[in-house]
Amino acid sequence: MNTVQIRLYDLFRKELNLADDKAAAFVAAMEDVIENEVKEGNNALATKDDIHKLELKIEQSNLKIEQSKNDIYKAVYLTGLLQFLGILGGVIVIIKFMMK
């Protein structure tokens, strides 16, 4: 046992009037809980490899966004061109109809 465990053991045994075996079991259980929390906390931290993978995913997402943006520009341009041609054709038909 380290000094912190011994102090906890003495506290539980003397101040809380626990039996020696119960105080020792309680200190051991607290130590297990703390170790598990530390291990789980380390799993929540990102490693350099995790950060590198995220950077790659972000770069891929940026490329997809750029491609989608270009596709939208093309679609808007073609739609505008088709509308212009449709209006121009309609005006020509109306003018021909009025000339007859």
Please report, for the chain, the start and end positions of each structural domain, with discontinuous segments joined by +: 1-45, 53-100
Mean pLDDT along residues 72-89: 97
Are the C-beta atoms of 29 and 8 separated by less than 8 Å?
no
Give tens-digit pLDDT for 88-99.
Answer: 999 999 999 998
Q: Supply the mean pLDDT for the chain.
A: 86
Give tens-digit pLDDT for 32-63.
Answer: 888 887 777 666 677 899 899 999 999 999 99
Distances (CA, A) of 16 to 7, 12, 13, 35: 13, 5, 6, 24
Q: Is residue 12 exposed (0-12), middle (13-18) or buried (19+ Cβ within 10 Å)? A: buried
Q: Give Rg (Cα) of the chain.
A: 37
Helix axis angle for 20-43 and 3-10, nearest 10°, is 130
